[in-house]
Amino acid sequence: MTIEEARAQLDEYRVLIDEVDRRIVDLINERTRIVENIGRVKRHADLPVYEPKREEKVFANIAGHNRGPITPEAVKRIFERIIDEMRGIQRVRMISDGDK
């Protein structure tokens, strides 16, 4: 394979990656909208944002769905970060809804 062929192939893969990244952002935003609704319900029911048992169920769900090549540990770390961000969004939503 020549350098030019390699660069052309890399460009094709990068276009695919860009498309996947946009789909991931769309899905994260979809998840965020749901999390905002959960935050509203928790606020009205005076429930805590942090629910460790629920988070363990999320991790079990994603681990059971993962078929690789990403490792279960890597998927868990990614979702830990997503959940942490979502928890922050819930807190903000609960505060802003309380001001209404």
Q: Angle 50-53-59 (CA atoms, 0-180°, nearest 5)?
A: 100
Q: Where in the sequence is the domain holding 74, given as residue range(s)? A: 3-98
The position carrying tokens 């990656």 is 17
- Here the CATH number for the domain that contains residue 73 is 1.20.59.10
pTM: 0.84
Mark out the alpha helices in 1-100 (DSSP H runs). Answer: 3-45, 52-65, 72-98
The 10s digit of each residue's pLDDT in 25-82 is: 999 999 999 999 998 898 899 999 899 999 999 999 999 999 999 999 999 999 999 9
Q: Which two tokens stand for residue 32?
A: 């965020």
Q: Give the other-Cβ count within 10 Å of 94's Cβ.
A: 21
Q: Alpha-carbon distance 2 to 15, whole Å?
A: 20
Q: Alpha-carbon distance 81 to 83, whole Å?
A: 5
Query: Taking the CA of residue 20 as centre, how many other CA atoms within 13 Å lie in the half-sphere pointing to its CB?
Result: 6
Q: How confident is the model at residue 98 (pLDDT cuts 50, 70, 90)?
A: low
